A and B are shown apart, each in its own frame.
With several copies, the nearest count.
Chain A
Amino acid sequence: VEPVTPVYKTNLPKEEIRNSQFEKVFPLHYKTYLRNDESTIMTEYGGSVPYNKHDNVNPLPEGYKHAQPYLKNLWLGYPFSFEYRAARGHTYAVDDIMHIDRINRYDEKGGLPSTCYNCKTTMMPKFIEEHGQDFWAKDFNQFRQALDAKDHTIGCTNCHNAETMELQLYSEPLKAFLEADGRDWNTIPRNEKRSMMCGQCHVEYYFQKKEFGPAARPVFPWTEGLDPENMYTYYKGHGDSTIKGFEGQFYDWIHPVSQTPMLKAQHPEYEMWSNGAHGAAGVACADCHMSYKRLDGKKKISDHQWTSPLKDVNLNACRQCHTDKTPEYLRGRVVDTQQKVFDQLLIAQEISVRAHEAIRRAAEYAGDKPASYEDLMIEAREWCRKGQFFWDYVSAENSVGFHNPTKALDTLAKSQQYSQKSVEAAIRATGFAIAKDLDGDIKQLVPPILNHSRELMMDPEHMKSHEWFKYLKVAPKAPLIWDGQTRVAPAGAAS
């Protein structure tokens, strides 16, 4: 016999999606839920301050010592190069997406599809009900004012049935995956559900191309498996590329410097965890991130503050299982692993930058070229794409390797090898002519881009501040239209 989660009768309507409505029914749970507002405590590698993840120069809250300086270089030409911050609590999800510079707030069109809403709000069932599968491809800005930043941010109904509080899927892409996989929610063991709730969002995804179904629908690239190699294989199909050597492949954007069709990995926590020491042993996300608390001193409830378990000095979450270990010991094990992973991450990142630079120089090389030049350039771009995706699988994952130390380190070693092969193929493509120019410290060769944003993109002076910016067009001046959910410029202000 296994313990069973209690079921409730909330007396709330089935369609209820406002978080506030659950406070009266579950005051204790709600109290822990509100603790997601905490956004100042840091741990060595994690924590809740939303600093800029590329800024290793400025102190908190703007930057942090363990930041990766080349993010803006690696994502150039893609919205992620404008702004990417460390995650904080679920209660900020709507607020943060409304302010993020990845979505264009200087234009009527945000430039990103409404797909983004899928993982930020309880509104999804309503959106889908109203717009059906056309919803995804609609412009993000169209719905800015459709939701309430607090009442509709990630909350109860993202995981629970409003009437009974049973665990329930709301996420369209996870539902679709399970269905295709022939799995029925009702027969999935409770222990797996305790992780799948998070697997609704903390996963790699992409926007579906219209050739394969509703345009811009979020899809999890999982049919080949959850490891980076599997996803890379998956992305060899499922696309509409007509680029020579990459026909039919999926890509998120073309890197303007190296003209490489790139992939962006996003928060593959579920995938990373799945075959690590804990995931394989059946230790669920909720075991560590929602461990039981007794708020009234008596009854256990699942802690609904989803944050780093290391914020707790006692590491109680861990010591439910590791009863024989001290908090200091356990913290030491985590940080030791993270340090190894982060150091390798920095190295992988640099080789990836070198790959783009090598391809750029090879593409611009005017001297004699070998007969195989075209093939070598395709090869260089393919390794560059692969090396960066493998780096990103670990970089975008939020545990800095702890969820799966061996997979993280193995993936980074591979990333380094692939990116190095890219550099070598590019050099080969010029008959070794550029070998010399490419040699040397990457920081000299390609300095990190420390500042970049949609606004700076409109500034011709800024656009002269880095060699790589010449592959971007200066954007036409435009006023800010959206400050979060508030329209600050009249309709039609943008050209």
Chain B
Amino acid sequence: MSLLKEGQSGRRWQAVILAGLAGVALTVGAGLAMVTTDTAGFCGGCHAMSEAVLTHSQSVHSKLSCNDCHAPHNIVAKIPFKAAAGTRDIYVNTLGTVPDLIHPVGNTLEVVQANCVRCHTSTVMTVNMDNKESCMSCHRHVPHTPRKPISTRKAADV
């Protein structure tokens, strides 16, 4: 298990160097790119993301863009984050091996969690928010409905 993780992050590090340029171009190119590259349309352009896009589209948050959750809101933090994450995604997808199971890695959960709180502050500020690991401990369906039968969220790739 841990061995495998090491292998993957090794590849990721390589990814940042190798595909760095492409990534930077894609993610910090222009203001327009900044918005485009946040959307479900952009993320979903990639095959590996199809399940996430599908389940997202079925969720209450379907009007949000992916990076409303998946990138830091603060623009100073957002740009490097997007560059690194985007670079990795692209590298793994084109040159690497897409794993059988895509798990949130690194600080993904923290980033997402911060976004939940950002939008829902008034709802949650009256209770103790460190009572669970994350919002998803209770709101397990947000937004990728992992416990739904697989046939309602996945099929083999053609």
Interface set of A (CB-CB < 8 Å, partner B): 1-6, 189-191, 194, 281-284, 286-287, 291-294, 297-302, 313-314, 316, 319-324, 327
Cα–Cα distance between A284 and B101 once the two chains are bound (Å): 18
Which partner residue on chain A sits nearest B144 by CB separation? A323
Number of interchain pairs (Cβ within 8 Å): 146
Pick the interface stretch among B19-27, B34-42, B134-142: B134-142
A contact residues around B141 at 8 Å (CB)? 323-324
Say whether, besides A299-B157, A316-B101, A191 and B140 are in contact (CB < 8 Å). Answer: no
CB-based contact B97/A3 at 8 Å:
no
Of listed A284, A286, A293, residue having the most chain B CB within 10 A: A284
CB-based contact A323/B140 at 8 Å:
yes
B contact residues around A4 at 8 Å (CB)? 125, 129, 155
Cα–Cα distance between A186 and B150 once the two chains are bound (Å): 20
Min CB distance A94 to B, Å, is 27
Of B1, B4, B122, B124, the contact of A3 (CB 8 Å cutoff): B124
Beta-carbon contacts under 8 Å, B88-106 to A: 96-101, 103
CB-based contact A6/B127 at 8 Å:
yes
Which partner residue on chain B sits nearest A167 by CB separation? B128
Cα–Cα distance between A194 and B121 once the two chains are bound (Å): 22
A-B contact pairs, 20 of them (CB 8 A): A1-B121, A3-B117, A4-B125, A5-B129, A6-B127, A6-B156, A191-B149, A282-B132, A282-B148, A284-B149, A287-B151, A298-B98, A298-B122, A298-B123, A298-B157, A299-B122, A299-B126, A319-B103, A320-B101, A321-B140
Of listed B124, B131, B153, residue having the most chain A CB within 10 A: B131
Which partner residue on chain B sits nearest A320 by CB separation? B138
CB-based contact B146/A321 at 8 Å:
yes
Cα–Cα distance between A51 and B132 once the two chains are bound (Å): 37
A contact residues around B153 at 8 Å (CB)? 3
A contact residues around B113 at 8 Å (CB)? 3
Task: Determine the main DSSP class of A at the interface with B.
Answer: loop
B107 at the interface (CB under 8 A from A): no
CB-based contact A300/B131 at 8 Å:
no
Min CB distance A390 to B, Å, is 30
Cα–Cα distance between A237 and B147 once the two chains are bound (Å): 41
Cα–Cα distance between A284 and B150 once the two chains are bound (Å): 8
Of B47, B118, B149, B156, the contact of A292 (CB 8 Å cutoff): B156
Beta-carbon contacts under 8 Å, B10-68 to A: 47, 54
CB-based contact B139/A3 at 8 Å:
no
B contact residues around A300 at 8 Å (CB)? 123-124, 126-127, 154-157
CB-based contact B1/A297 at 8 Å:
no
Nearest 3 interchain pairs by C-beta: A3-B129, A297-B97, A3-B155
CB-based contact B125/A6 at 8 Å:
yes
Of A2, A194, A322, the contact of B131 (CB 8 Å cutoff): A194
Say whether, besides A6-B126, A298-B47, A299-B126, A324 and B157 are in contact (CB < 8 Å). Answer: no
CB-based contact B146/A320 at 8 Å:
yes
Cα–Cα distance between A158 and B73 once the two chains are bound (Å): 41
CB-based contact A190/B130 at 8 Å:
yes
CB-based contact A282/B124 at 8 Å:
no
Min CB distance B49 to A, Å, is 12
B158 at the interface (CB under 8 A from A): yes
A contact residues around B97 at 8 Å (CB)? 294, 297
Of A5, A191, A292, the contact of B100 (CB 8 Å cutoff): A292
Of A287, A291, A302, A327, the contact of B149 (CB 8 Å cutoff): A287
B8 at the interface (CB under 8 A from A): no
CB-based contact A287/B157 at 8 Å:
no
Which partner residue on chain B sits nearest A190 by CB separation? B131
CB-based contact A324/B147 at 8 Å:
yes
CB-based contact B130/A5 at 8 Å:
yes
CB-based contact B152/A294 at 8 Å:
no
A contact residues around B132 at 8 Å (CB)? 191, 282
CB-based contact B100/A316 at 8 Å:
yes
